[in-house]
Amino acid sequence: MKTKQKRSKTTIPRRPVRCQYCGAVAVLRPASEIYGDEKRTDMLYVCGHYPACNAYVAVHPGTLEPMGPLANGDLRHLRIRAHRTFDQIWQRRIMSRQSAYRWMADYFGLRVQDAHIGMFNEYRCQKLIEKSQEVLEQCGKAAS
């Protein structure tokens, strides 16, 4: 049946979002609180045991859907590294940004719109770093 699921802004998702590290239910909190940055207006799912458990995840813009599983500090840093390595491919114009995302999506068997490093787990981040480095090494030996 069609229900009135979207009646309020404080909707709780159908299934509770749980922390993959400690199992606590995550709560929606303003990103500004977590980052200490008042300019942030987005929301995060933050582990109920935060800050003891330092895990959280962003929501898809305009929704209350988590981008993926909660990530702790290690995974977040890995994603940042993966992003930096991958971004060099298009920043150095080895591929256009669009082609680089297509290449990444193809490699992981994803649709381009699902190829978000922010959703990647450790394994995918490692793979992306490896693969991106191969591309960078093949194409940019003279650059560094």
Nearest approach in angstroms of CB 40 to Zn ion is: 21
DSSP β-bridge partners for residue 29: 44
Contact (CB, 8 A) for 57 and 69: yes
Nearest approach in angstroms of CB 16 to Zn ion is: 13
* Binding residues among 10-29 for Zn ion as defined by CB under 5 A: 19, 21-22, 24
Per DSSP, the three-state class of 95 is: coil
Q: Identify which range of 39-47, 85-93, 99-107, 114-122 contacts Zn ion by CB under 5 A.
A: 39-47
Percent of the chain as helix, strand, coil, to the nearest 5: 40, 10, 45
Contact (CB, 8 A) for 54 and 65: no
Give me 139's structure tokens: 């194409």
Mark 54-93 with x for binding to Zn ion (rule: CB under 5 A) and - for no binding: -x--------------------------------------
Q: What is the rounded CA–CA span in Å between residue 37 and residue 41?
A: 9
Residue 47 binding Zn ion, by CB under 5 A:
yes
Q: Identify which range of 30-38, 45-53, 60-68, 130-138 contacts Zn ion by CB under 5 A.
A: 45-53
Site residues (vs Zn ion, CB under 5 A): 19, 21-22, 24, 47, 49, 53, 55
